[in-house]
Structure 1
């Protein structure tokens, strides 16, 4: 069978890449096929597939149309990226599945007749903003594999935190939190070179690039920062007056430039800050959405007399308006993302956006619970009074919605949620079924919440036991018709093949015994209910054989990989579950020893399961939030 794939010669790179991906997969799907790209001399018996883009801007809404018969047909998109999304949907209709980042995880079926190539579908994205923000520790290959996966799931954007995403790669190459691996050399120059490759991968797929976030405040103080590490140098005399005055002192907050706020009543601060943002936009024209946030800590707002006269948010809006003025004078159209987070949860009372079309509202409920999804109500009552440097962060979902609704009375432009289910909470759910369900429930409520989308701040290496939560997120952000129950069968049958029902039942039971909130430090460390749940989980895992040997002859190589992950996940669950059980019982010394054994195991086996589990991040969360402690350097037992 000869298959011609045609596209206009002037097509942008996402359309060209879509043709290449269609060719790659069809060569596997159709045995003995001949795939030809852009051959205008098609034979009468050839199957001819045409790719067409309506040419709308890449920040426009995504929609595609698939109309293919046994003789061929057309896959068209509203913009170049949507053509690629349409190609992946067509491959999905043919039976392809993409259960996790990396081509080694793909499920590609075999078809033998022209009639099997027929497909028809028209879809428009349910939500405009559908993306992931980098977190954790990642190699360049991890990031590129993840970016490659995004459009397969229906995502349209990727967020590279900070002006240079150095720390998210340095953590891996320096092997932070894993003393069993020898640190590799990794510099900011290397990070910049890698960032160029990442941006190229995004442009190839037409994905929107979000950039920056925290870090601007350190920049103004003379400490360009790309991580949260403390430094020993004091503030230089020429910038010390620009820092927030807290407890009578102007200094770095706990020594961390990233976490240090500024004196936002100071005109020099406003001009210096806005100059840096404008300069960055000039130097980085590929950035679609630039995030302009303040410091990444709370209760560190300037207490000088001038600053006390205004809410931090009024000062924030004033700063953002000045940035808009400078971008407008430079004829730059980048969107500016402003943040509802910590002190900025309180809406302004004096200032207003002069050019609201420039801005995107981002709601970041970082302190929320993940035991439940939002329960939407007609009214939520008033927000609590703001007390400078004495705030507490809202945990309950109603509390978070109070702040969002108050802001929505003030700002009526585009908005999206920036959430964290796969940034910390997922480690508390060993089975990943509960957290995936919460993600799905949250996404289905976004329109009722008045939101236009969702960006997930998360680890990219979160495939232990599988990547089901991220799969649910991408599929449901694009397709408002698909249900969670449909996705469970779709995902597990593709990932595990014969025996998938046993795996789903097993992981569902694990999820029912887990607490995301306990792992994230939101409950008392001594907790009889948590101890009993972990005791039951250990017994269940120990007594429930979930082996990949039965039916293995009918599985693909990719499916066998998922069974291998599940086998490793069994030992992971036993060791971490025992540590949590001892912690919840109040046996802190035994808990620490059990956690040390868990950490030893994951460090020893990280290279074997590098793309599945982020050892840096699970260690950081376990010690920063759960209650375990880093001790003496590990010694390999391998």
Structure 2
């Protein structure tokens, strides 16, 4: 059976879509051969699949849409841009039965279809939301980043956000093996980070994914400091540099010794001009960036208290800075979109300033302190936000209060905007089954239209697949648009991942989720909690019962991908037993027992990290657990 894949566009992304289609079709049916020579004998009656773009009048670089018309292995996949052709090609494979369950080809379910030529598929769809992406967090090897980028379009995502000018911080956390004393630190340099960054840029370009960049770090740049992450510095600032930092409690300098957490004196013309110059220079040097994020320091209650700054809300000074930046970019003929951030003090909308050129900007709502016990609910009337008090704010947990800040900003900016959310940044560690957090994601995304938000970028670890990848699977499908219920999507995922016993797995992980509390793990409310303690004991019993039923068999499944998922479920069961024990002691106030149990847990995950590196970010789960949950940092075993 011969097929000819014709690409009517010479776009790198369309050509890549053609090579991917060949790869997967040959996996689905090993009798398929691909004709290359139009004069070859086998080409005379071969089937043809055309990959190309819609007519010019239907094309858009921003909005993704595709059309699939393939019958008897003849037809076409067309898109509104090269990326949409790639998305349409992966959707065709999904409709054939392929399931892209986790980053990495070893985690893909590829069906065998003997009579694929009998299948007819017709689908035309436009993405429900414009912004559909993931932002890097955690400790990442280059392979983790590259495999995640490869995975994104397979689920319908169109964007990747690589924080900072270089992703040094995230790579260095892996190479230094921070929080894992059982691994030997490896040398890592800024030069190596720059090499990897170029490789990442190349993979984004190949897939025509929207490229988001920087965010935090501009304040460091203004002060002449490298953005190396959330690390302390003993660098001495010059008198001029010192005068540019925020005056907090009568002192200027690095806030608690950390440059990236240090705000500036934003009323100072010198600060504004330097900030604008740094951003403009970067934008000129990096035309590959589609969305340039302009954020302030990553800390709160540390805004400048000088006489000039105190006359203005931080958001008024921020908008003034953004307007100056827009002028400079326009003078240079630069059209890059600027993403501004509603976050911490900037939750309070400006009272005096407005963006002069709203088309330049995209607003990003970042409710980092929100609860994940519930999804968004839109009230008939939003409550008024609390009055702003300089350097005495409390971040909102309640969803209604978070949304009240968004409503105030919507009154002064009615342009493009999206949700920047954190279900897989910290909260997921508090949900050992991953079913609850996946359901929150499903509900949140279905409410974005009611919030007048055009999408969602998940600020998250790239190694968040213990026990599985259901949350990101749900996220990608819902952001592109699906009529499927949460239950239908979960069934689709679990069937491919776990085989004939998928229902038992879904029931089991759902029960674990029902016993967990994301907010408790995130440090909200009292550490003493008898209900948490009792739930963790029940959870441990359920895990042990499941282990006794399923992990006494030597060979669970013959399908390689399902063997991998069951292997991870086995590891996950011991993870849950050890962690639930530590949490139970913590919630009972039994400090010594909690510390001993926590040490057992950390030793276990550290000792297993090389085996399950792609599934669990050991650095991050330890960092969250020690900074928020209440466990001690274990520096040696």
TM over 0.5, shorter chain: yes
CA deviations 1:73-127 (Å, max 9, x no partner) are 0100010000000000000111111110000011111112243442111111010
The 1:627/1:584 distance shift into structure 2, 3 A limit, reads same
Q: Deviation digits for residues 430-463 of structure 1, max 9, x if unmatched?
A: 0000000000000000000010000000000011
Which digits, 9 at most, give the CA deviation of each residue in 1:554-610, with x for residues without a partner? 541011100000000000000000000000000011101101110000000100000
8 Å contact kept, 1:7–1:38: no
Match of 2:608 in 1: 605
How far 1:551 moved relative to its partner?
11
Per-residue deviation at 1:552? 5.4
In the alignment, does 2:162 pair up with 1:163? no
Task: Return the match for 1:627 from 600, 612, 630.
Answer: 630
Equivalent of residue 66 in structure 1, options 65, 68, 84: 68
Helix, strand or coil at the partner of 1:121? strand
Q: What SS does structure 1 have at the residue aligned with 2:3?
A: strand
TM-score by length of 1: 0.97
1: CA distance between counterparts of 2:634 and 2:51?
57
Quote how far apart the aligned CAs of 1:486 are.
Answer: 1.0
Number of the residue aligned with 2:399: 397
Q: Is the CA contact (8 Å cut-off) linking 1:31 and 1:111 kept in structure 2?
A: no
**1:141 counterpart residue number:** 143
In structure 2, relative to structure 1, the CA distance for the partners of 1:38 and 1:242 (3 Å cut) is farther
- Please list the CA deviations of residues 149-185 of structure 1 after superposition, one character each: whole Å capped at 9, or x if unmatched: 0000000000000111101111111111111111111
Number of corresponding residues: 633
SS of the residue 1:609 aligns to = coil
For 1:475 and 1:40, the matched residues in 2 are separated by: 42
Partner of 1:298: 300
1:128–1:40 distance in 2 versus 1, CA, 3 Å:
farther
Counterparts of 1:340-359 in structure 2 under 5 Å? 340-359=342-361
Cα distance in 1, alignment partners of residues 352 and 305 from structure 2: 19
| 1:625–1:7 Cα change, 3 Å | same
Determine helix, strand or coil for the equivalent of 1:250.
coil
Aligned to 1:534: 536
Give the structure 1 partner of residue 249 of structure 2.
Answer: 247
Question: In the TM superposition, what are the counterparts of 1:184-199 in structure 2 within 5 Å?
Answer: 184-199=186-201
Structure 2 residue aligned with 1:129: 131
Displacement of 1:237 after TM fit?
1.6
Residue 525 of structure 1, aligned match among 524, 527, 536: 527
Which of 204, 207, 210 pairs up with 1:208? 210
Cα deviation, residue 226, structure 1? 2.8
Task: Give the 3-state SS of the residue equivalent to 2:100 in structure 1.
Answer: coil
Residue 47 (structure 1) shift: 1.7
Q: 1:583 to 1:265 in 2, by over 3 A?
A: same
Using the size of structure 2 for normalisation, the TM-score is 0.97
Q: Separation in 2 of the partners of 1:490 and 1:464?
A: 18
* Separation in 1, partners of 2:498, 2:446: 27
Query: Could you say which residue in structure 2 is the equivalent of 1:11?
Result: 10
Q: Spell out, residue by residue over 1:501-537, the C-alpha distance to the aligned partner (whole angstroms, 9 max, x if none).
A: 1110110000000000000000210101111111111
Report the counterpart of residue 381 of structure 2 in structure 1: 379
Alignment of 1:70-85 (within 5 A): 70-85=72-87
After TM superposition, list the pairs within 5 Å mapping 1:585-596 onto structure 2. Answer: 585-596=588-599
Cα distance, 1:265–1:377 mapped onto 2, change above 3 Å? same
**Distance change in 2, residues 1:523/1:555 (3 Å):** farther
Instruction: Please name the residue that 1:217 is paired with.
Output: 219
Q: Which runs of 5+ in 1 are unaligned?
A: none
Alpha-carbon distance in 2 for matches of 1:110, 1:39 = 28
- Are 1:35 and 2:34 an aligned pair? yes
1:263, CA displacement in angstroms? Answer: 0.5
Following superposition, the deviation at residue 550 of structure 1 comes to 6.7
- Whether the 8 Å CA contact 2:61–2:80 is kept in 1: the answer is no
Q: Is the 8 A contact 1:5 1:39 kept in 2?
A: no
1:260 to partner: Cα distance: 0.5
Q: Is the 8 A contact 2:341 2:365 kept in 1?
A: yes
In structure 2, what is the Cα distance between the partners aligned to 1:38 and 1:346?
Answer: 63
Instruction: Describe how 1:383-532 pairs up with structure 2 within 5 A.
Output: 383-532=385-534
Partner Cα separation in structure 2 for residue 551 and residue 599 of structure 1? 27
Alpha-carbon offset, residue 482 of structure 1: 2.3
| Residue aligning to 1:2 | 2
Q: Deviations over 1:592-630 (max 9, x none)?
A: 110111000000010000000000000100100000011
In 2: Cα distance, 1:38 partner to 1:623 partner: 62
Per-residue deviation, 1:235:
2.3
Kept after mapping to 2: 8 A contact 1:58/1:81: no
Match of residue 47 from structure 1: 47
* Two-structure CA RMSD over aligned residues (Å): 1.5
The secondary structure found in structure 2 opposite 1:248 is coil
Query: CA distance change for structure 1 residues 555 and 493 in 2, over 3 Å: closer, same or farther?
Result: farther
- Cα gap change, 1:62 to 1:632, in 2 (>3 Å): closer
Using the alignment, how far apart are the partners of 2:526 and 2:165 within structure 1?
38
SS at match of 1:279: helix
Paired residues for 1:305-316 under 5 Å: 305-316=307-318
Q: 1 CA distance for matches of 2:256 and 2:73?
A: 67
CA contact (8 A) 1:94 1:116 kept: no
Using the TM superposition, give the Cα deviation of residue 44 of structure 1 relative to its aligned residue in structure 2, in angstroms.
4.7
Kept in 2: contact 1:163–1:226 (CA 8 A):
no
Aligned to 1:233: 235
Counterpart secondary structure, 1:5? strand
Q: Deviations over 1:176-230 (max 9, x none)?
A: 1111111111101100100000010000001011000011111111212130101
Structure 2: give runs of 5+ residues left out of the alignment.
none
Contact 2:383 2:400 in 1 (8 A): no
Q: Indicate the larger mover: 179-188 or 337-346.
A: 179-188
